[in-house]
Amino acid sequence: MKTTISALLIVALLLCSICMFAACKSESSVEDLSETLETSAAPITGGWTIPEEPEQAVLSEEQATAFELATAELTGASYTPLACIGSQVVAGRNYAYLCKSTLVTNPPVSSLSVVKIYLDLEGNASILNVTDVNLADYTDNAKMNFTPNIPLAGGWTPNAEAGKLPEEVQAAFDKATEELTGVGYTPLCLMGSQVVAGSNYAILCTATQVTAEPASALAVVTVYADLQDGAEITSVAGFPVG
């Protein structure tokens, strides 16, 4: 019981820290993280485990194989995994992947999706569900709906590459977070970019409260890079896995 109460207090403190910081950086209200918080503790049946470092979001051989098996016979759309953002122990494992999704049209239309896959104990894999991701739902500055593949002012373009942040995005992220205290943000993947007077970058991060017993949550951190090499965080929104 004491362990459970302690864990709840840590989660509550992390929630308060993220929301207080975001409120100071933006006039818009930040999405309540209370229903989307995912702990980074050791996996237990029914609980989701999220990556704490970028390397942990890179697909393992098992995760890549499960994804390929589950999506091999799909028609009408293709999915390219950018990161594995969660795993869940069941009778086997569930995996959640952040993906670039492409509709097989002329011309092709790309966006972002979370694809959840079940890998059973015999090595069979199947898709549990696919959830479309609208970046405008996670950023305070979006003034129009998500527009796939059109990098015009106001429209979000989904990230097409997995792996480390592009150099200019990493530089903007480092500058925007260099004076942060209390909560640390570890970038896992660039989700999308938006052309404004400068650029907005939506970056999927693990947000971790800096305490003796840290608790973590996935969050979309929006960084604005201006035309004079300045950068700042403009919004933080929880990103649910389960």
pLDDT at 69: 96
* Cα angle value 196/201/204 (rounded, 5°): 160
pLDDT above 70 for 206: yes
pLDDT above 60 for 146: no
Burial of 45 (0-12, 13-18, 19+ CB in 10 A): exposed
Q: Over the stretch 158-182, which tens digit does the pLDDT of each residue have?
A: 876 677 899 999 999 999 999 888 8
Q: Which residue has the tokens 């979000």?
A: 156
Q: Give the chain's domain count.
A: 1
Task: Report d(CA 158, CA 38) in Å as an integer.
Answer: 24
pLDDT above 90 for 86: yes
210-232 residues labelled b (16+ CB within 10 A) or e (exposed):
eeeeebbbbbbbbbbbeeeeebe
- Decide if 129 contacts 139 (C-beta within 8 A): no
Instruction: Tokens for 221, please give them.
Output: 């951190």
pLDDT at 76: 83
pLDDT at 45: 43
pLDDT at 104: 77
- Decide if 27 contacts 72 (C-beta within 8 A): no
- Decide if 48 contacts 88 (C-beta within 8 A): yes
Percent of the chain clearing pLDDT 90 (strictly above): 45
pLDDT at 186: 92
Task: Report d(CA 85, CA 115) in Å as an integer.
Answer: 10
Q: Could you list the residue range(s) of the whole structural domain that residue 233 is in?
A: 2-238
Residue with the larger pLDDT of the pair 21 and 180: 180
